[in-house]
Amino acid sequence: MTYFLCPVCGKKLTELEKGAVCENRHSFDKAKSGYINLLPNNLPKGNHGDNKLMVKARHDFLEKGYYLPLRNELCSVIKKYSSENAVILDAGCGEGWYTKGVADSLQDCGILALDISKDAMKITAKRDKKIKSAAASVFHLPVESESIDICYSVFSPLCESEFERVIKKGGYFVYVIPAENHLWSLKKAVYDEPYKNSVKPYEMESFEFIEKVTVDGLMEMQSSEDVLNLFMMTPYYYKTSEEDTKKLLSSPPEKIEYSFEILVFRK
């Protein structure tokens, strides 16, 4: 059995060797890497979510450990609000670097990971067989209502209605966002008139705000390749001219700030 629902009829899925099937015989393939493809058939052709280039850049950067302080703090926060045999959902997991950290720190919990990018899920599914992974959208979670103890999201799209639906009453939503000064030196190296991040008020209609944990630090960049990978992880890269990108590569900053907020809400 999986923790997932059939995206066609909403019935529970039973996991098979090569995929999953529901009682209405809707079947879904399991990729060679191990994730189940639960994306609807009517999606337009082409890439959805992060493409191979974006996934590789993020994977290569994160594996260097630059954001390890964030992952460690995120794991501590989730562990603080978790309980034995809790079901934890990484909604918009990307290539699973944070998911793996959470899975390692909470051995007795069920860990689910979902992302719309198949390229990302190929990596996530290979990280740990106990992580139940599927290609799916956070706007249409193939997860039973009120079945999740803790749902968390790291820089991923926010779909409050779906998170409210799947989280148990009294359960938690943990949201990681960039703070005001995040990557300020990187922005200054690229733009003539850089601007700081705008941090929205901590309000969710169906949730009570519990606490904010800040994670700040300074990264000593090991190479210009790492700087470029970091830039490619951000939405700025895909909105930046080739000329401005060359400015960054010609004189990459040696040190770059990171600044995050981990927000905890209770349903």
Give me the percent of the chain exceeding a pLDDT of 70: 96
* pLDDT digit string, tens, across residues 46-89: 556 788 989 999 999 999 999 999 999 999 999 999 999 999 99
- Do 146 and 168 form a contact (C-beta atoms < 8 A)? yes
Mean pLDDT, the chain, whole residue set: 92
| pTM, rounded to two decimals | 0.94
Q: What is the pLDDT of residues 153-167, one digit of tens each?
A: 999 989 999 999 999
Provide the CA 140 distance to its chain's centre, in angstroms.
15
Which helix (H) or strand (E) segment is 98 a member of? helix 97-105
Answer yes or no: are the C-beta atoms of 3 and 143 closer than 8 Å.
Answer: yes
pLDDT tens-digit readout, 242-254: 888 888 888 899 9
Query: pLDDT per residue over 102-124, tens digit each?
Result: 999 999 999 999 999 999 999 99
Rounded to whole angstroms, the Cα distance separating 61 from 63 reads 6
DSSP label of 22: -
All structural domains of the chain: 35-266 (3.40.50.150)
* pLDDT value, residue 42: 61
Q: How far apart are CA 7 and CA 9, in angstroms?
A: 6
Distance CA 73, CA 212 (A): 12
197-232 residue pLDDT tens: 888 788 898 999 999 999 999 999 999 999 999 999
Compute the C-alpha angle 20/21/24, nearest 5°. 165
Q: What is the Cα–Cα distance from 230 to 217, expressed in whole angstroms?
A: 15
User: DSSP code of 44?
Assistant: P
